[in-house]
Amino acid sequence: MIKNVYRLEVKYPKGAFDDDYAPEGWAPNDFFSEHYGQEFFWPCATKIYHSRSTARSRAHLLERFGATVTIRRSVPITWEYSEAEVLRDRVAELEEFITELKAVNA
């Protein structure tokens, strides 16, 4: 199976990693305060995403906080087939071959 994966290239605003940094207008809601405290922190941007839509969702979040984000797509990658997939494909090939042989001998 051939597929692309995606990563984010992020440019953070000036001072983004200062201790007192928070995006303009940002304030923690009750859920954020309860789970993470009162201080702003940047969402993770180092993951590899298996879909462009998931990468885009994270990019939108970072952009709301003032970052500039570019989504980078990998070159097509090929995933190895599992043994079951290889066997299933081989059985399909053999069944097709048998059908062709029956047609010739009919």
Q: What is the pLDDT along the chain (106 residues), one digit of tens a residue?
A: 668 999 999 999 999 999 889 998 899 899 999 999 889 999 999 999 999 999 999 999 999 999 999 999 999 988 777 778 778 888 989 998 898 888 888 7
Terminal CA-CA length for the chain: 37
The token pair that represents 76 in the structure block: 């097509």
Q: Evaluate whether residue 105 is within a structural domain.
A: no
User: Which domain, by its residues, includes 9?
Assistant: 2-78
Q: Evaluate whether residue 96 is within a structural domain.
A: no
Predicted TM-score of the model (pTM): 0.69
Query: Secondary structure of 56-93 in the HEC alphabet?
Result: HHHHHHHHHCCCEEEEEECCCEECCCCHHHHHHHHHHH
Q: Evaluate whether residue 90 is within a structural domain.
A: no
- Could you give the number of structural domains in the chain? 1
Q: Evaluate whether residue 7 is within a structural domain.
A: yes
Q: Evaluate whether residue 89 is within a structural domain.
A: no
Q: Evaluate whether residue 72 is within a structural domain.
A: yes
Q: Evaluate whether residue 16 is within a structural domain.
A: yes
Q: How far apart are CA 50 and CA 62, in angstroms?
A: 18
Q: Evaluate whether residue 12 is within a structural domain.
A: yes
